[in-house]
Structure formats: structure tokens, C-alpha cells
């Protein structure tokens, strides 16, 4: 394994077993993240993005969740084989997480300084004074006046709360940051502020990041690489430029066609017909085949093969085994 | 000139709070012509939903006139209002909480059909419900389904069918696609556009999503803290935003294109409190172009070019210095 790879997920399969039914949330997912890079994990509700992120921390609630197979190598060590003591070292120290909803991810009865100090005291130092000093520094870093350190979460606005969450996540110099829709709950001008902050911090601390979002605009702004998920599988991955300008998978094309364009406002939208398949009854072949305008008979019966277009660009679509197969979407330069 | 179907004049809604009067909607005026879409955009708490609800009097306006089809809705008595509401419907943001969980698709849509009394027998009502389901793209087999059995997109289709059931002339769409995934969002937007063409509907389309408002509206009104800061035909507004708030709002939209997000104006600070707002422009505390006059005097909504209204001292300065 090349040593600039900080995270390597191999053949991860996660199921939720509820009332006799099996929800196939993540299916045979393989993914590498290089040090200092931001990977955008894109997909719609139920695609398995959050389940993937929780697996990296070995935080899948069990029952009903079950990691059926696979390994997750973090700096070369398998997270899924760790005992509780080792995991506690990983969680919050090596890997930090930012959740979507800053209203529910903070403790309402602790001051923000106390909440930032908590992880510092667990992982970094036993001196309260030192921890507090570091907490105040972190507040400053994320653009909150240290004078507000002893206030409670309800005294902050949504954007400010998310800054506090980011401060907690960054407090222990984590090597990997998992951001699960960190700006989705925020207004667009506040989102711009928080994204701006995250980009600056990434450059300052050279943190690697997995950025989960359904907003392709946000991806274009912050990510270096993109993985598109559909029904628990990564259907396309590549650099930002490869996926956005040379999309190969029909689902990726469908996502772009669904977006209203700012430039051509009257153009009719071309939504993907139908719905994501029921994750308890995934089709035998390609999960996207029932909605895919390029699907042929073989697509719904056989597993798709991953086709490589460059060293970094892959798509899970067997149609590319045919010569001359191409999507309708124009490639951009 | 064509008579507008809806003319809202000086609409105000103040809520009493323990800390003072909350100015949710503060002097909003606009008109819409038949068959057109007016988009209202703004961020959380700017008063766009309250405006929508005041038009239907789901919230009683504090003052103002709402002229719809030649009558001031604000002056109607409860009986007249009930009759009027057959012409004015609303679609809500959250298709999960705006449907009665104990009613089937049929029961939900039939409620509106029954109110009209045009359909007398159960067979007629049933036929009309199936017709409406077909119009909004709901399969006939879902007739007896409950909302919890359906996904967000289908639930929103029920909401639309329910609104259409009374043959309205105008529909207030309050963030109708915000809770939906993009591929489903596009399906619903296409449906709303098709219905407008086929049935000649007029829409007030309330959203925070600027790409969506750009796609669906003929004209756009930008709200900030209860006030109209800018209003123009959609293309004019997007090509030539004048108000510093509109400019920063547009510049904050993340564009799904490589390299498209390099230069942006990021406004600092957050929306100030709508409770007892001070005199002056409400955007002034965050505005990069703030002048001395901005905190001293309310900027008036002024037509700067044909059909393009802006409330900003940057554009009224010359006139006021002459005066």
C-alpha cells in the first residue's frame, strides 16, 4: 500500500436486519483516501453515505446494523478489528466527525468551552488550564470570540453552533475528518461562511476529509475527489474534474441533468425517472438498471464490472465493455 | 395593461413577543398577472412563508390589502373567505407533516373534490379523484395507500392533487421541493410547470433555492428581514442584481461546475433581530457598501430601470442629494 493513503476501505458490506428483512445499506464498497485530500461522497437519501462514514468509526448501531464483511484500514490498522480501548483512541483523536445538525450534536447543558475541552482532556492533556487555553484558541480559529466561551449552545445561531462543532472536531489535530452534510441545515450565506472556513482550515492543518453531501455545488467548491454512491455502491469515482466534466455513469449524468441550470433557465429539466430501489430488495444485476435509459437486458441480470478510464477514474457500468458506448452528456474541457 | 390576478399592497404582519413586536412581514407589495409565477426568495426567517400564509389568511395580516380577482381578501368575512379559498390553494414544504397520516390517498384528495359539490355521487367523486391522480402522475394502484407507505416525491404529488381538487386559480407553493432529492425535485418542478401551462395556473413560489427560483419564476422578489429589497423579471435580476444583499446571496450559491466558485463575496455576520428593528436599512450591519445615510434613513423601493425595483441608498443617492 502506498504510504500516502491514510484510509483504505476494502469490500465493506453493511446490512441492517430489521423484522426479518435485510436492508442492504452498503454493498462491497472499496475506497482509498490520500493524505491531505478532500473526498466528496455524493448521493441521494438512502444511498449509504452516512452508513459508510459511521463504519469508519465502527459506530454502526448493532443491532440492527451488522458489518458483514470488509476491512477499514486507518493508517494501516483495521478499525473493524480493534477493541474498545483502541477505538476510543481513534474516535475523536485520529478521526473526528461533524454531523449535519448542529442543533442536536451539541450538549445543551454544557458551555461550549467545556464541550471543546472534553475531547482535549480525553486525548491530549490532563491539565484543565491547558485544555481551556487550547479550547479558546480553537474558538478563535473558527471565528468565534473567546469571550463567548462560557455561553451555552442555545445562545448561538445555527451557523455559530456549526463552528463550535468544527472547533471540537479540530481540537485534537485529527488526521481524518468526516463531515456529514455539515452545511445542509444552514442558509446559503451562512453556508458560504462555513465552507470558506472549512477550506481555510483544511489548508492550514492539511487534514484529510470525507465530505458527505447531496449538493453537487458544494462538492465543486471543496472537494478534490468525488465518489458517487447509489443503492449502497460507489457507481463512479474520480477526481473532481473527471467526474464533473467527463461523467461516465448514467446515474451521475442523471444527477447533473436534474439540476436547474443557472445559465439556461428555461431548459426543461431531465429528471431520472422512477425511484431508488427498495434496499431490502435490490435487483440482481445493476441497481440502477430499472431507471437507466442506457440499460440493456443483460444489465438487470448480471453484476456490473468496474471499468477504469484513467488511473483514478472508475465507473460501475458494464456497457463500457462495448466499443463506442458513450453517454449523451457532452464532455467539458 | 393586463389586470393582475393578485395585488398585495402594504402587507404587514407583526407578532407580539415578550421582547417587543416581531416584524415578520414589513410593508410588502407586489402584483402577479394570470398564468405567471412570482418567486419569493430569502433566507430562514425573512418572512417569505408568512407572506404566503397571509395571502390565504391562514395567518391574519396586521394591515394591508390583498386584492384577488377584484376583491380584497383581507376584508372578507369567514363565509366569503371560505368560498374564496377554492380559488387559492397552498402546497407545503414538508409532505411528511402536511398530510393526515390516517387518510388514504383517495380520502385526502376526495376532501377537496367534495367541497365543490359539483360531484354528487360517490362514483363521480371517485372518478374525479382518479383523474386528479393521473394528472399529477400517481399510479391508480396507490388509491388506497397511506402517506407513510409512500416516498417524499409521491407524497408531494398528493399535496399537489389535493390543491388542484378545487380547481384553484392560484397556488402558493411554499418550498415544495426543498425536502426532496434532486432527481425527484426535478420531477416535481416539471410537473408544476406542465400544470401551469395546461391549467393556466398562477404561482407564488416561495423558496430559498436560487437555482430553482431562477428556473421556475417569471419575476422574483428578494426578501430580507420582512422587507422587499429587490424585485425584477427573473433574467434581469440574475444578470444584473443591484442590491448588495442580492449580490452576496447570488455569489454564495455553490455552482456545480469545476472552477466556478473561485471569486465570491462572503458577507460577514448574521441576520439581525426582527424584533423592534431600528430605523435604516436592515441589511446595513452586514453590508460592505454601508454609508452614513444607511443607518439613519429607510431606503425606499425605487424603480431603477424598467420593472427593476431596488431598496438601497446606493441607487437613490443622486436624487436625494439633488433634492
Q: Which residues of B touch A45 (CB under 8 A)?
A: 181
Strands A5-18 and A21-34: antiparallel
pLDDT tens digits for range A40-78? 999 988 899 999 999 999 999 888 899 999 999 998 899
Eight-state DSSP code of residue A224: S
| Residue B99 near residue B147, CB atoms below 8 Å | yes
Q: Which residues of A touch B235 (CB under 8 A)?
A: 265
Question: CA-CA distance, B138 to B140, in Å (whole number)?
Answer: 6
Are B261 and A270 in contact (CB < 8 Å)? Answer: no
Within an 8 Å CB–CB cutoff, is residue A296 touching chain B?
A: no
CB-based burial, B65-77: b 16+ in 10 Å, e otherwise: ebbbeeeebbebe
pLDDT of B97 strictly over 50 = yes
Sorted by sequence, the CB contacts under 8 Å of residue B165 that are 6+ apart come out as: B109, B110, B111, B112, B113, B115, B116, B128, B129, B132
| Residue A80 near residue A70, CB atoms below 8 Å | yes
pLDDT tens digits for range A97-150? 998 777 788 999 999 999 999 989 988 878 899 999 999 998 988 888 888 999
ipTM tops 0.90: no
Confidence of residue B317 (pLDDT cuts 50, 70, 90): low
Name the maximum alpha-carbon separation found in chain A: 67
Within an 8 Å CB–CB cutoff, is residue B218 touching chain A?
A: no
Within an 8 Å CB–CB cutoff, is residue A155 touching chain B?
A: no
Question: CA-CA distance, A301 to A228, in Å (whole number)?
Answer: 22
Are B255 and A193 in contact (CB < 8 Å)? Answer: no
Are A188 and B257 in contact (CB < 8 Å)? Answer: no
Residue A191's closest chain B neighbor by CA? B252
Eight-state DSSP code of residue B143: G
Q: Which residues of A touch B183 (CB under 8 A)?
A: 44, 254-255, 258, 271-272
* CA angle at B319 for the pair B318 and B321, rounded to the nearest 5°: 65
Instruction: Going residue by residue through chain A, which has 333 residues, state the pLDDT in tens, using 9 for 90 and above.
Output: 556 899 999 999 999 998 888 899 999 999 999 999 999 999 988 899 999 999 999 999 888 899 999 999 998 899 999 999 999 888 988 999 998 777 788 999 999 999 999 989 988 878 899 999 999 998 988 888 888 999 999 888 888 888 899 899 888 888 899 999 888 878 888 888 889 888 888 888 888 999 999 899 999 999 999 999 999 999 999 999 999 999 999 999 999 999 988 778 878 899 898 888 888 888 889 999 999 999 999 999 988 889 999 999 999 999 999 888 999 888 777
Distance of CA A179 to the CA centre of its chain: 6
Question: CA-CA distance, B30 to B231, in Å (whole number)?
Answer: 9
**A17 bridge partner residues:** A22
Residue B182's closest chain A neighbor by CA? A258
> Which residue among B234, B261, B270 places its CB closest to the CB of A221?
B261
B154: number of CA atoms within 13 Å, CB side? Answer: 19
Question: CA-CA distance, B244 to B312, in Å (whole number)?
Answer: 8
Centre a 10 Å sphere on the Cβ of residue B27 and count the other Cβ atoms it contains: 16
Residue B184's closest chain A neighbor by CA? A271
Are A259 and B187 in contact (CB < 8 Å)? Answer: no
Q: Report pLDDT for B261.
A: 67
How would you classify residue A28: left for phi > 0, otherwise alpha for psi between -120 and 50, otherwise beta? Answer: left
Share of chain B above pLDDT 70, in %: 97
Are B212 and A268 in contact (CB < 8 Å)? Answer: no
B304: number of CA atoms within 13 Å, CB side? Answer: 24
Are B181 and A214 in contact (CB < 8 Å)? Answer: yes
Prediction pTM value: 0.87
Q: From B174, B184, B134, select the one nearest B154 (Cα to Cα).
A: B184
Question: CA-CA distance, A251 to A246, in Å (whole number)?
Answer: 13
| Residue A103 near residue A158, CB atoms below 8 Å | yes
Mind spelling out the 3-state secondary structure of B269-319? CCCCCCECCCCCCCCHHHCCCCCHHHHCCCCCCEEEECCEEECCHHHCHHH
* CA angle at A284 for the pair A279 and A285, rounded to the nearest 5°: 110
E strand or H helix at A30: strand A21-34
Amino acid at each position: 500500500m502506498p504510504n500516502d493513503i491514510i484510509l483504505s476501505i476494502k469490500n465493506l458490506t453493511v446490512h441492517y436486519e430489521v423484522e426479518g428483512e435485510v436492508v442492504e445499506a452498503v454493498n462491497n464498497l472499496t475506497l482509498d483516501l490520500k493524505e491531505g485530500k478532500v473526498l466528496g461522497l455524493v448521493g441521494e437519501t438512502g444511498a449509504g453515505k452516512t452508513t459508510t462514514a459511521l463504519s469508519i468509526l465502527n459506530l454502526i448501531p448493532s443491532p440492527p446494523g451488522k458489518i458483514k464483511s470488509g476491512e477499514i484500514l486507518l493508517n494501516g490498522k483495521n478499525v473493524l478489528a480493534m477493541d474498545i480501548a483502541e477505538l476510543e483512541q481513534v474516535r475523536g483523536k485520529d478521526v473526528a466527525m461533524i454531523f449535519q445538525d448542529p442543533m442536536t450534536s451539541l450538549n445543551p447543558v454544557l458551555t461550549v468551552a467545556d464541550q471543546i475541552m472534553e475531547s482535549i482532556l480525553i486525548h491530549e492533556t490532563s491539565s484543565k488550564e491547558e485544555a481551556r487555553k487550547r479550547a479558546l484558541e480553537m474558538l478563535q480559529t473558527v471565528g468565534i470570540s473567546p469571550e463567548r466561551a462560557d455561553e451555552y449552545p442555545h445562545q448561538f445561531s445555527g451557523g455559530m453552533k456549526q463552528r463550535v462543532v468544527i472547533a471540537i472536531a479540530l481540537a485534537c489535530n485529527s488526521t481524518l475528518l468526516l463531515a456529514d452534510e455539515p452545511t445542509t441545515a444552514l442558509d446559503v450565506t451562512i453556508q458560504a461562511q462555513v465552507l470558506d472556513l472549512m477550506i481555510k482550515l483544511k489548508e492550514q492543518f492539511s487534514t484529510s476529509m470525507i465530505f458527505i453531501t447531496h449538493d453537487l455545488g458544494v462538492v465543486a467548491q471543496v472537494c478534490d475527489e468525488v465518489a458517487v454512491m447509489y443503492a449502497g455502491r460507489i457507481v463512479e469515482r474520480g477526481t473532481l474534474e473527471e467526474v464533473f466534466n467527463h461523467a461516465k455513469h448514467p446515474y451521475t449524468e442523471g444527477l447533473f441533468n436534474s439540476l436547474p441550470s443557472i445559465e439556461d433557465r428555461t431548459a426543461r429539466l431531465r429528471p431520472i425517472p422512477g425511484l431508488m430501489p427498495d434496499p431490502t430488495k435490490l435487483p440482481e444485476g445493476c441497481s440502477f438498471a430499472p431507471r437507466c435509459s442506457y440499460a440493456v437486458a443483460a444489465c438487470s441480470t448480471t453484476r456490473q464490472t468496474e471499468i477504469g478510464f484513467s488511473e483514478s477514474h472508475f465507473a460501475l457500468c458494464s456497457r463500457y465493455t462495448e466499443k463506442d458506448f458513450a453517454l449523451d452528456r457532452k464532455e467539458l474541457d | 395593461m393586463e389586470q393582475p390576478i393578485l395585488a398585495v399592497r402594504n402587507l404587514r404582519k407583526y407578532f407580539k413577543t415578550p421582547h417587543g413586536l416581531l416584524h415578520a412581514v414589513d410593508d410588502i407589495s407586489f402584483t402577479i398577472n394570470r398564468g405567471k409565477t412570482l418567486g419569493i426568495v430569502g433566507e430562514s426567517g425573512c418572512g417569505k412563508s408568512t407572506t404566503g400564509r397571509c395571502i390565504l389568511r391562514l395567518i391574519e395580516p396586521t394591515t394591508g390589502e390583498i386584492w384577488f380577482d377584484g376583491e380584497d381578501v383581507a376584508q372578507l368575512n369567514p363565509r366569503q373567505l371560505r368560498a374564496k379559498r377554492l380559488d387559492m390553494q397552498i402546497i407545503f414544504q414538508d409532505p411528511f407533516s402536511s398530510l393526515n397520516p390516517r387518510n388514504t390517498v383517495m380520502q385526502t384528495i376526495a376532501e377537496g373534490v367534495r367541497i365543490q359539490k359539483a360531484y354528487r355521487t360517490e362514483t363521480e367523486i371517485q372518478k374525479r379523484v382518479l383523474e386528479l391522480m393521473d394528472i399529477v402522475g400517481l399510479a391508480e394502484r396507490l388509491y388506497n395507500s397511506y402517506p407513510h407507505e409512500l416516498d417524499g416525491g409521491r407524497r408531494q404529488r398528493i399535496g399537489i392533487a389535493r390543491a388542484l381538487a378545487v380547481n384553484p386559480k392560484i397556488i402558493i407553493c411554499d418550498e415544495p421541493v426543498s425536502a426532496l432529492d434532486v432527481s425527484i425535485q426535478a420531477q416535481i418542478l416539471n410537473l408544476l410547470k406542465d400544470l401551469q401551462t395546461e391549467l393556466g395556473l398562477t404561482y407564488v413560489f416561495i423558496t430559498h433555492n436560487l437555482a430553482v427560483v431562477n428556473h421556475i419564476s417569471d419575476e422574483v422578489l428578494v426578501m430580507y428581514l420582512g422587507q422587499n429589497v429587490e424585485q425584477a423579471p427573473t433574467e434581469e435580476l440574475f444578470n444584473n442584481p443591484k442590491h448588495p444583499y442580492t449580490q452576496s446571496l447570488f455569489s454564495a450559491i455553490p455552482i456545480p461546475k469545476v472552477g466556478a466558485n473561485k471569486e465570491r463575496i462572503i458577507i460577514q455576520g448574521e441576520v439581525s433581530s426582527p424584533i423592534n428593528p431600528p430605523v435604516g436599512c436592515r441589511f446595513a450591519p452586514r453590508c460592505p457598501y454601508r454609508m452614513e445615510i444607511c443607518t439613519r434613513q429607510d431606503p425606499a423601493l425605487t424603480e431603477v430601470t424598467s420593472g427593476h425595483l431596488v431598496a438601497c441608498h446606493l441607487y437613490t443617492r443622486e436624487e436625494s442629494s439633488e433634492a
